[in-house]
Amino acid sequence: MAANHCGTCTLCCKLLAIGELEKPKGQWCTHCTPGSGCRIYENRPASCRDFACIWLESQKEAKPLPPALRPDKCKVVLSFSEDRKDVMGFCDPSSPDAWKEAPIFGLLEVIAQQGIRVMFGNGREHFAMDRGRARRVELSPADSKGVRIFVRFLD
């Protein structure tokens, strides 16, 4: 998170939970200077070292995602699950409808069209991409690892 190639983006330092720091989702990490970076970069926890959002991963590819899709610009952090069969998204609760905007919604559609399950939340509701639209979903309560799974569509 917040390596130099992230530029001035630090959004995952707000949106993601960091177990080692007992930092909940949706709150700025106390070690982050928003828009600048991590003040404990050399000693940041393993989960921070290991994390790369889809935008950051793409910067190594022949066709990287454009600057407009950098999470601090589009207000959504997307990342693959370990087996790369799922994409999880976190939309900034300060901009809860940002996921509806182009080009981020277009990216959600393109990923889903590849057969990858796409789920995301905005701090209020959770959604899953289903045949070109985002449907509200109910998730299970968190298990001991904080994992919640799909229960049913709500609309």
Spatial strand order of the sheet with 150-153 comes to 76-80, 86-91, 117-121, 126-130, 133-139, 150-153
The CA distance from 121 to 108, in Å, is 13
Binders in 99-138 for ligand SF4, by CB under 6 A:
none
Total chain residues near ligand SF4 (CB under 6 A): 24
Given the rule CB under 6 A, which of 6-14, 83-91, 115-123, 136-144 is the region that contacts ligand SF4?
A: 6-14
Q: Taking CB under 6 A as the rule, which mask of x and - marks residues 74-103 in contact with ligand SF4?
A: ---x--------------------------
Among 44, 75, 99, 108, binds ligand SF4 (CB under 6 A): 44
Q: Which is nearer to ligand SF4, 13 or 119 (CB)?
A: 13
Kindly list the residues in this chain that would bind ligand SF4 in the complex (CB under 6 A): 1-2, 6, 9-13, 18, 29, 31-32, 38, 40, 44-45, 48, 52-53, 55-56, 70-71, 77
